[in-house]
């Protein structure tokens, strides 16, 4: 029999980089904590990029009852980022990587009194990923720590945190049968393996055939089987598995069990306001409930290995998962081994989860690194490792927007995906459409997806003229309306993932009226508020729960004679009432727009079938300043009236490309940009040397380039005056 004890209570925490002996000596003076725990729950979320990054200690005495058993192992499910386990004064193991589990045997080291001391370190270094990314690198023992007592004959526990059992189902969709290969690792003579009531006694591996197989069929029917393996000693392991077939077609996108199944969903980070990454099972389950409410059928679990409980929830809910390691932003010469270690652990520990469809090799790795032989070799090594360990899944990569589509790195993984932020960080929304059209036309035989896209929104900010960079809830909604349509028109995209389902901690960020948060979430960091864009996707994806949502509920005070009322619904007809009087009905899909006169305070009600939603808005005489994040930028739209601009001459509304075709106008903007570039240094160099980026900028209007570059009102107006003096 196996006895598992979760070590939740009784820990002492010392926020001090001291030697192990001292940590034990001073433990009593440490703070009493329970696991899971992070020391960055507060300072990792409040901005300033000044959260504590160093070595801390967790110390605990193990009782006689806890240490009982023939062989005793310690299991650490998440120690961020590098941990050392000291037991009774001796260092037993060092583990590098904050997101995978590891185990160590304690048996031989047991004494009368047993003191466990674990040091955890999240300092920056050059050997362990991640080191460069916006999300907070929380430190702590933030997942369960367990003791596992097993008999002398037992399943393997040490190798890369293995579950000891590996199940590979291969499905024949024509015959509706599945051949299940079960491999086990143990030190006994034989093992009894059971699936579906059938038991086979073998040395290590067995094969089963399931007739009339019940498929794991995504969100519609995520059926799970269980495989159990038992040794004569009584030690037992079991794992759930699912029988399904994943496939990708460059023209038709993703297939599940032989039918077209476009993967449409979101990304998730593992953290929560006030708690950091020290999440409970209830926190994970609450996130999953929101994902189901949204109607997503896929998740990118970014940017690292998530908790086993969360992959379990994905198995149970039929969510198709992209799993990845934190090989992100910047290649580090001394961390090749770490990428391989983290990938080996990810695959070993997660192999049995039916939800996982692809292994992600890296994220935006060329954002701060050149594509050179070293980078390519690291990717080839990872790709080969994935295929060696897993014959059933594809590999992929999340490419940064400025990575040339001709780059050889795109040929390494089986399929690709791009992170594109046109319409947010740079460029215009439509450039996303053009990007994919170009890619697909040039490489029709390649499978391509959309691994990240999003726009920050602080639900306190509102506008009737939303625009890029204003952080309003309305711009985020518009942005996603565009992307939703763009995606629907391109069925070849094998998967699309909104960045991000939830706002998350990025302690180095200070923008959009919040410190330390990336606000691209469709839902706020504390999960209390769903932004309008959430309901856009819910209207498009949720097929089970009829609903209607009035946008702009928080945009109460409106300074205009007429206002737009926008409704998202998964019904086909929406009727609008103002103060109890019917305004009109509209048939359509997902987005319904009405315009109404604003006289005073109004009660708005939208109805779709037997569901409805209400809100109150009012007319005000002065704009409500509290709705504006950047008050100066917010007025930009009104600087230039279309009538004031002579269309026969150049203006800041022309694209850089158009202007550059005229020698005089081109020389003026080039001189101005060269001046800007000399002030910005290396960033500008990167632009200059990057033809893809140059092309993208060529398509942007001068106005949007200037605003993005932070130009002030006066210089924008001045350039416009100059351009207006030049005939096209
Ligand atoms: C990215 C990164 C992601 C960031 C995101 C952003 O491309 O992959 O980790 O959080 O952009 O919001 O800037």
pLDDT at 60: 98
Average pLDDT on 680-688 reads 50
210 neighbors 180 (Cβ within 8 angstroms): yes
Distance 18 CA to ligand 1 centre (A): 35
**Atom number of ligand 1 nearest to Cα 506:** 10
**392, pLDDT greater than 90:** yes
List the one residue out of 265, 275, 278, 340 whose CA is nearest residue 307: 278
187 neighbors 278 (Cβ within 8 angstroms): no
With a 6 Å cutoff on the Cβ, whether 452 touches ligand 1 is: yes
Residue with tokens 């059928």: 297
How many angstroms separate the CA atoms of 136 and 50, rounded? Answer: 10
Distance 506 CA to ligand 1 centre (A): 10
**Atom number of ligand 1 nearest to Cα 425:** 13
With a 6 Å cutoff on the Cβ, whether 268 touches ligand 1 is: no
Nearest CA residue ID for atom 10, ligand 1: 134
List the one residue out of 419, 345, 433, 428 whose CA is nearest residue 385: 345
72 neighbors 157 (Cβ within 8 angstroms): no
Residue 554: alpha-carbon gap to chain centroid: 27
Average pLDDT on 478-492 reads 98
With a 6 Å cutoff on the Cβ, whether 519 touches ligand 1 is: no
Rg (CA), the chain: 28
- pLDDT one-digit tens code per residue, 103-126: 999 999 999 999 999 999 999 999
With a 6 Å cutoff on the Cβ, whether 362 touches ligand 1 is: no
With a 6 Å cutoff on the Cβ, whether 118 touches ligand 1 is: no
Q: How confident is the model at residue 639 (pLDDT cuts 50, 70, 90)?
A: low
With a 6 Å cutoff on the Cβ, whether 420 touches ligand 1 is: no
**Atom number of ligand 1 nearest to Cα 364:** 8
With a 6 Å cutoff on the Cβ, whether 363 touches ligand 1 is: yes
**672, pLDDT greater than 90:** no
How many angstroms separate the CA atoms of 426 and 468, rounded? Answer: 9
How many angstroms separate the CA atoms of 143 and 26, rounded? Answer: 24
Residue among 302, 398, 417, 419 to mutate when testing ligand 1 (max atoms within 8 A of CB): 419
List the one residue out of 428, 174, 410, 450 whose CA is nearest residue 300: 450
Average pLDDT on 547-554 reads 98
Residue among 129, 518, 519, 521 to mutate when testing ligand 1 (max atoms within 8 A of CB): 518
**Atom number of ligand 1 nearest to Cα 456:** 12
With a 6 Å cutoff on the Cβ, whether 133 touches ligand 1 is: yes
Residue with tokens 């993967």: 263
What does DSSP say about strands 3-6 and 82-87: parallel, antiparallel, or unpaired?
A: unpaired
Q: Which helix (H) or strand (E) holds 373?
A: helix 373-389
With a 6 Å cutoff on the Cβ, whether 503 touches ligand 1 is: no
Distance 134 CA to ligand 1 centre (A): 7
HSE (side-chain half, CA atoms, 13 Å) at 49: 10
HSE (side-chain half, CA atoms, 13 Å) at 302: 28
Distance 401 CA to ligand 1 centre (A): 11
Average pLDDT on 632-637 reads 49
632 neighbors 713 (Cβ within 8 angstroms): yes
- pLDDT one-digit tens code per residue, 190-217: 999 999 999 999 999 999 999 999 999 9
Q: Which residues are catalytic?
A: 364
Distance 331 CA to ligand 1 centre (A): 16
**Atom number of ligand 1 nearest to Cα 398:** 8
Distance 518 CA to ligand 1 centre (A): 9
Average pLDDT on 39-51 reads 97
With a 6 Å cutoff on the Cβ, whether 419 touches ligand 1 is: yes
Helix (H, G, I), strand (E, B) or coil at 657: helix
Distance 500 CA to ligand 1 centre (A): 9
pLDDT at 36: 98
How many angstroms separate the CA atoms of 120 and 129, rounded? Answer: 15
List the one residue out of 598, 551, 556, 552 whose CA is nearest residue 578: 598
Strand partners, 616: 603
Residue among 129, 421, 452, 457 to mutate when testing ligand 1 (max atoms within 8 A of CB): 452
Q: How confident is the model at residue 670 (pLDDT cuts 50, 70, 90)?
A: confident
Distance 82 CA to ligand 1 centre (A): 24
How many angstroms separate the CA atoms of 91 and 71, rounded? Answer: 19
Q: How confident is the model at residue 635 (pLDDT cuts 50, 70, 90)?
A: very low
pTM: 0.92
Nearest CA residue ID for atom 13, ligand 1: 134
Helices 281-294 and 532-541, interaxial angle, to 10°?
70
Helices 473-488 and 430-442, interaxial angle, to 10°?
20
Per-residue CA distances from 559 to 353, 397, 556, 617, 638 (Å)? 53, 46, 10, 11, 14
With a 6 Å cutoff on the Cβ, whether 309 touches ligand 1 is: no
Distance 289 CA to ligand 1 centre (A): 24
**Atom number of ligand 1 nearest to Cα 328:** 8
Average pLDDT, rounded, for the chain: 94
**597, pLDDT greater than 50:** yes
First-last CA distance in the chain: 84
618 neighbors 554 (Cβ within 8 angstroms): no
Return the higher-pLDDT residue of 595 and 632: 595
How many angstroms separate the CA atoms of 238 and 163, rounded? Answer: 8
Length of the chain: 728
Classify residue 49 by burial, with Cβ atoms within 10 Å: 0-12, 13-18, 19+.
middle
Nearest CA residue ID for atom 4, ligand 1: 134
With a 6 Å cutoff on the Cβ, whether 365 touches ligand 1 is: no
- Sign for the CA dihedral angle at 399, 404, 408, 411 comes to positive
pLDDT at 498: 98
**679, pLDDT greater than 70:** no
With a 6 Å cutoff on the Cβ, whether 590 touches ligand 1 is: no
- pLDDT one-digit tens code per residue, 256-275: 999 999 999 999 999 999 99
Distance 456 CA to ligand 1 centre (A): 11
How many angstroms separate the CA atoms of 178 and 709, rounded? Answer: 57
3 neighbors 146 (Cβ within 8 angstroms): no
Tokens of 589: 């899909």
List the one residue out of 445, 381, 451, 367 whose CA is nearest residue 413: 381
With a 6 Å cutoff on the Cβ, whether 499 touches ligand 1 is: yes
How many angstroms separate the CA atoms of 168 and 242, rounded? Answer: 9
**638, pLDDT greater than 70:** no
How many angstroms separate the CA atoms of 253 and 263, rounded? Answer: 8
């Amino acid at each position: 029999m196996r006895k598992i004890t979760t070590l939740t209570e009784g820990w002492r925490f010392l926020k001090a980089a001291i030697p192990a002996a001292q940590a034990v000596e001073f433990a009593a003076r440490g703070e009493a904590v329970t696991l899971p725990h992070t020391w960055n729950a507060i300072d990792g979320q409040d901005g300033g990029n000044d959260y504590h990054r160093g070595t801390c200690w967790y110390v605990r005495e193990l009782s006689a009852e806890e240490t009982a058993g023939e062989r005793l192992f310690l299991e650490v499910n998440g120690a961020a980022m590098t941990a050392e386990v000291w037991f009774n004064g001796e260092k037993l193991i060092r583990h590098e990587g904050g997101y995978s589990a590891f185990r160590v045997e304690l048996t031989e080291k047991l004494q009368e009194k047993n003191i466990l001391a674990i040091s955890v370190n999240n300092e920056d270094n050059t050997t362990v990923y991640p080191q460069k990314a916006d999300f907070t690198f929380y430190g702590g023992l933030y997942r369960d720590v367990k003791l596992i007592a097993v008999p002398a004959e037992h399943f393997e526990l040490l190798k890369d945190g293995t579950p000891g059992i590996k199940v590979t189902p291969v499905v024949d969709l024509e015959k509706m049968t599945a051949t299940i290969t079960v491999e086990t690792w143990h030190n006994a003579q034989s093992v009894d393996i059971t699936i579906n009531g059938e038991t086979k006694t073998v040395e290590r591996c067995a094969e089963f055939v399931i007739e009339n197989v019940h498929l794991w069929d995504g969100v519609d029917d995520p059926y799970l089987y269980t495989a159990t393996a038992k040794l004569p000693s009584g030690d037992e392991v079991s794992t759930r598995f699912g029988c399904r077939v994943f496939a990708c077609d460059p023209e038709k996108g993703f297939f599940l069990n032989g039918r077209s199944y476009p993967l449409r969903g979101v990304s998730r980070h593992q953290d929560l306001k006030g708690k950091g990454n020290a999440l409970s099972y209830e926190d994970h389950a609450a996130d999953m409930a929101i994902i189901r409410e949204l109607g997503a059928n896929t998740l990118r679990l970014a940017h690292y290995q998530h908790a086993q409980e969360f992959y379990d929830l994905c198995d149970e809910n039929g969510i198709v998962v992209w799993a990845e390691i934190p090989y992100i932003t910047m290649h580090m010469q001394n961390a090749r081994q770490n990428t391989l270690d983290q990938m080996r652990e990810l695959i070993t520990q997660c192999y049995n989860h039916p939800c996982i469809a692809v292994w992600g090799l890296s994220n935006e790795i060329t954002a701060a690194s050149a594509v050179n032989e070293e980078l390519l070799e690291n990717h080839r090594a990872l790709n080969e490792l994935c295929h060696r360990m897993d014959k059933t899944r594809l590999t992929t990569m999340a490419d940064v927007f400025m990575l040339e589509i001709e780059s050889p790195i795109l040929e390494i993984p089986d399929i690709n995906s791009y992170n594109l932020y046109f319409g947010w960080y740079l460029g215009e929304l439509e450039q996303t459409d053009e990007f994919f059209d170009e890619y697909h036309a040039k490489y029709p035989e390649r499978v391509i997806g959309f691994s990240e896209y999003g726009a920050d929104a602080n639900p306190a900010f509102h506008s009737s003229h939303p625009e890029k960079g204003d952080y309003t809830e309305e711009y985020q909604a518009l942005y996603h309306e565009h992307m939703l349509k763009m995606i629907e028109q391109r069925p070849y995209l094998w998967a699309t993932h909104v960045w991000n389902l939830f706002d998350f901690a990025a302690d180095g960020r200070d923008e959009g009226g919040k410190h330390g948060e990336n606000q691209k979430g469709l839902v706020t960091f504390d999960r209390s508020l769903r932004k309008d864009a959430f309901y856009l996707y819910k209207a498009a994806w949720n097929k089970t729960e009829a609903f209607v949502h009035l946008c702009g509920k928080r945009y109460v005070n409106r300074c205009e004679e007429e206002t737009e009322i926008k409704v998202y619904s998964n019904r086909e007809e929406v009727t609008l009432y103002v103060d109890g009087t019917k305004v009109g009905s509209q048939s359509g899909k997902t987005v319904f727009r009405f315009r109404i006169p604003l006289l005073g305070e109004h009660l708005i009600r939208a109805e779709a079938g037997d569901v409805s939603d209400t809100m109150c808005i009012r007319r005000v005489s002065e704009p409500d300043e509290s709705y504006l994040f950047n008050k100066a930028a917010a007025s930009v739209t009104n600087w230039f009236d279309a009538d004031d601009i002579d269309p026969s001459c150049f203006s800041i509304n022309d694209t850089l490309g158009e202007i550059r075709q005229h020698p005089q106008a081109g020389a003026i903007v080039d001189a101005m940009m060269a001046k800007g570039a000399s002030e910005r240094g290396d960033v500008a160099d990167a632009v200059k040397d990057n033809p893809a980026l140059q092309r993208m900028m060529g398509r942007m209007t001068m106005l949007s380039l200037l605003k993005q570059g932070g130009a002030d009102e006066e210089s924008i107006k001045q350039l416009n005056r100059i351009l207006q003096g030049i005939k096209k």
